[in-house]
Amino acid sequence: MPLDPAQRHQIEQDAITAAWEAERLATCDEAIALLREIADLERDDDGYVIIGTDAEGHNDLMSRITAFLATKTNRGTP
């Protein structure tokens, strides 16, 4: 028996929501990994993280965080 339009629409919405949730969880896992990496950075005697720079003098960690956030923002939600 074919699905009525309301059932079909609900199934489509559930599939979209499930895909969005899977992507959100993957993004959270990536963010957690990045935060763990930050936590493992070298610290000075006062406990502050020592953040180095790349060959051009840019803060490599901040560049990576910025790039990470740029890829994860401005996405629609269901």
pLDDT of residue 74: 59
What would the pLDDT profile of 21-37 be if each residue is shown by its tens digit? Answer: 998 888 888 888 877 77
pLDDT of residue 16: 92
* Distance in angstroms (rounded) separating the CA atoms of residues 16 and 77: 9
φ, ψ of residue 59 in degrees (nearest 5): -75, 105
Q: Pick the more confident residue, 8 or 35.
A: 8
Q: Mean pLDDT throughout 33-56?
A: 72
How much is the average pLDDT of 5-12? 90
pLDDT at 57: 64
Name the band, by pLDDT with cuts 50, 70 and 90, for residue 13: very high
pTM: 0.48
